[in-house]
Amino acid sequence: MNDTIIAAKAKEQHNNFLGKVFTHFSKPKARFVRETTYGIQASGDTKLSSIVRAIEDDVAPIQTEKRLSRNIEDETLGQEISNAILSEGARHVRKDTLILVDPTEIRKEYACKMEYVTRVRDASRSSKEGRDVIVNGYHGCIAAACTSWSRKTIPLVLKLWSSRASGFKGANDEVLKIINDIF
């Protein structure tokens, strides 16, 4: 099978999945989510210019970049995406489903000027080296559902935060918010 056929099938599967999860989104928001997630996967990069090149739109790249930039400024979009993923995952949760909540971190070792970047404990390196390894990054938490009748792990929530951000009350508060959202 050649690369073009594989890419077309992957894009179709991607669109089918997003069509199930983001059913209540407006057409522009759904298109934005579809194009950016595809662009990130196809390019392997999160830079806007790489995403635009991967999309291969019929419109001039500068116009596509402007449209994506406008959409990314929507402050409600992140919460809407989180709610859509959580509600899709909730359809698979039963009384005997295990909900796993795992505090984590995102390392940004060389980032000094990123917004609200803070110092975090690198758990994987700390356990290997037998000492605390502190790096730049963001705190986070992952919640997933594990069902006893299947080997599937269903994502529910992924949230990142910084202790430097305004309104930050503490890691426990953030984790409790995630648990309340799941309930």
Q: What is the pLDDT of residues 115-157, one digit of tens each?
A: 999 999 888 888 888 888 889 999 999 999 997 777 788 899 9
- 35-69 tens-digit pLDDT: 898 888 888 888 899 999 988 778 888 888 999 99
pLDDT digits (tens, 9 = 90+) for 6-23: 777 877 887 777 777 778
| Tens of pLDDT, residues 62-94 | 888 999 999 988 888 888 988 888 988 888 888
Nearest to 157 by CA among 101, 96, 106: 101
pTM: 0.75
SS (H, E, C) the chain: CCHHHHHHHHHHHHHHHHHHHCCCCCHHHHHHHHHHHHHHHHHCCCCHHHHHHHHCCCCCHHHHHHHHHHHHCCCCHHHHHHHHHHHHHHCCCCCCCEEEEEEEEEECCCCCCCCCCEEEECHHHHHHHCCCCEEEEEEEEEEEEECCCCCCEEEEEEEEECCCCCCCCCHHHHHHHHHHHHC
CA 181 to chain centre: 16
